[in-house]
Structure 1
Amino acid sequence: MRSLFLCGTFVLGGVVVICSAGLAQNAPAGQPPAQANPPAGAQSNPPQQGMGRGPAPPVQGPPHDPHDLAGVWNTRRGYGGNSYDRQGPEFTPWGQEQFKLAKASNGGQYTLQQTNDPVTTKCFPPGVPRIYLQPFPLQFVQTPKEVIILYEYDHTVRHVLTDGRKHPDDLTPTYMGDSIGRWDGDTFVVDTIGFNDKTWLDRAGRPHSDQLHVVERFQRMNLNDLELDITMEDPKALAKPWNAHIGFQLHPDWSIAEQVCADNGDFVSFEK
């Protein structure tokens, strides 16, 4: 008797009757049917994993190199808004006084005729980290000695040196500061000092001094998502470090376009 397909052979009224019901038809209710052994030489499929058959394998996204930041990215929330959170930083007395002098137009308190925003009125570079609040994408270009960040806003470019050098001792203060980078595991850490005091930390007018120190930590979580954690320290303006977080999404079909702030230099006419 064949154990798989024939459940028995007997004679009934002179007729040979063969019971050929497969095991799958006789499987107890609630259990999956048994599978037949493959013919000799055939390759059977491995057991499926899932409910009741062992742990399912983790779902894998498209492959990516966490050390590869190249490409065009844009903030996930679209328009950057005027700051990173609702609370804002805790100021020193000096920082609080400077904040009172700011007349930010982005929050709606002041018109373009009234604001003293250095970006809006003079097309000054936004500085770091405010550049991430400008509603334009950015692109990473990686070389063996540096990571270049191309911001679409007003053709702003940052050179993050990765050849192991330190910050110079005789830095000339600039809008975007002096940046050096290194890899800490899968996190790209950018350390920036050497700022002037002509920019704001955000579009809401929060000030800083030339003692500002910014640390950016970029981590590519998967193929399409890049997370940025920012720490701002300024002993003259901030009573304690101010932390911020921004998420970016990859746009492989985008390219950086031309955006010229000076083309909108007459902001009063532009507002009308």
Structure 2
Amino acid sequence: MVFSNDDIEGIWDFSWPGHGIGHPPSSSVDFTTEGKLSFDSFLPELDPTLKCLMPGIPLGIIDPYPIEIVMQDHQILFLYEHFHMVRRIFMDGRIAPDDWPVSLIGYSVGHWEEKTLVIKTTHMSPDNYVWTNGMPFSGDKNSYVIERYSREGDILLFEAEIHDSVNYKTPYKVSGQRLFSPDMNIYEYECLPDFAGAGVI
């Protein structure tokens, strides 16, 4: 089957051998003083997903579970298996309202730059991290995330820049890729609070 490079609809898997997530080593991250203190004081049990909170944005960008992308005229839906997370990427030119409440997924607007989908997300909650090793995220009103998705055959390439001047002197960057998996299913995912952090010591 032949697809257009700007047709990213379908189910995309992350967990396939030989390809992982591109993260800078912590030693090369350009922390602010506050960001370094937050990173150094992180404990594994502080991971919000261990409280049955969905990964949100920016953490959910590199979530290893499959996602389904649904393209509509006015929006693109990102449907995540993990925690049933749903993102609406508004494509109709709207601007995020100033009084929009902060949340784990924030408020996302997008546009196409040729064959690349560009998403800007604002209004994100401070109850989140950039990465599960404790890379902090402030949720400051001036923080935002830029994502770029482009298709090359059955591969969906993505990269993201986390702009959070409270914690990072320069944007924190991640990248990765997903494999088009039309025969894969999105399964039920449940998080039981009594067991969510059972493996953390």
Q: 1:261 to 1:236 in 2, by over 3 A?
A: same
Report deviation, 1:255: 1.9
Report deviation, 1:96: 1.1
Identity, in percent, stands at 26
CA distances 1:8-61 after superposition (whole Å, capped 9, x unpaired):
xxxxxxxxxxxxxxxxxxxxxxxxxxxxxxxxxxxxxxxxxxxxxxxxxxxxxx
CA radius of gyration, larger in? 1
Q: 1:126 aligns with which of 35, 46, 55?
A: 55
Q: Which residue of 1 aligns with 2:171?
A: 241
Q: 2:11 aligns with which of 72, 82, 101?
A: 72
Q: 1:131 to 1:188 in 2, by over 3 A?
A: same
Query: Partners of 2:64 and 2:55 in 1: how far apart?
Result: 12
Whether 2:187 is the aligned partner of 1:257: answer: yes
Query: Partners of 1:125 and 1:79 in 2: how far apart?
Result: 27
1:136–1:152 contact (8 Å) kept in structure 2:
yes
Judge which range, 167-176 or 62-71, deviates more: 62-71
Report deviation, 1:269: 4.8
Q: Which residue of 1 aligns with 2:101?
A: 172
TM-score of the aligned structures, taking structure 2 as reference length: 0.89
Displaced runs of 4+ in structure 1, greater than 3 A?
76-83, 267-272
Query: Partners of 1:68 and 1:82 in 2: how far apart?
Result: 23
Counterparts of 1:143-158 in structure 2, within 5 Å, are: 143-158=72-87
1:200–1:207 contact (8 Å) kept in structure 2:
yes
CA distances 1:205-259 after superposition (whole Å, capped 9, x unpaired):
111111331000000112x111001111111111111121111110010121111
Amino acid at match of 2:69: F
Whether 2:79 is the aligned partner of 1:140: answer: no
Which structure has more relative contact order (CA 8 Å, sep 6+)? It is: 2
Query: Partners of 1:80 and 1:127 in 2: how far apart?
Result: 23
SS state of the match for residue 261, structure 1? Answer: coil
1:80–1:133 contact (8 Å) kept in structure 2:
no
SS state of the match for residue 167, structure 1? Answer: coil
Query: Partners of 1:268 and 1:248 in 2: how far apart?
Result: 28
Query: Partners of 2:127 and 2:191 in 1: how far apart?
Result: 17
Report deviation, 1:82: 8.5
Q: 1:232 to 1:90 in 2, by over 3 A?
A: same
Q: Gaps (5+ residues) in structure 2?
A: none
Q: Whose strand proportion is higher, 1 or 2?
A: 2
Q: 1:268 to 1:65 in 2, by over 3 A?
A: closer
Q: Which residue of 2 aligns with 1:21?
A: none
Report deviation, 1:162: 0.5
Q: Gaps (5+ residues) in structure 1?
A: 1-61, 105-114
Amino acid at match of 1:261: C
Q: Which residue of 2 aligns with 1:221?
A: 152
Query: Partners of 1:270 and 1:151 in 2: how far apart?
Result: 23
Report deviation, 1:271: 7.0
Query: Partners of 1:237 and 1:79 in 2: how far apart?
Result: 31
Amino acid at match of 2:166: K
Q: CA RMSD in A?
A: 2.3
Query: Partners of 1:95 and 1:253 in 2: how far apart?
Result: 42
2:144–2:164 contact (8 Å) kept in structure 1:
yes
Q: Which residue of 2 aligns with 1:108?
A: none
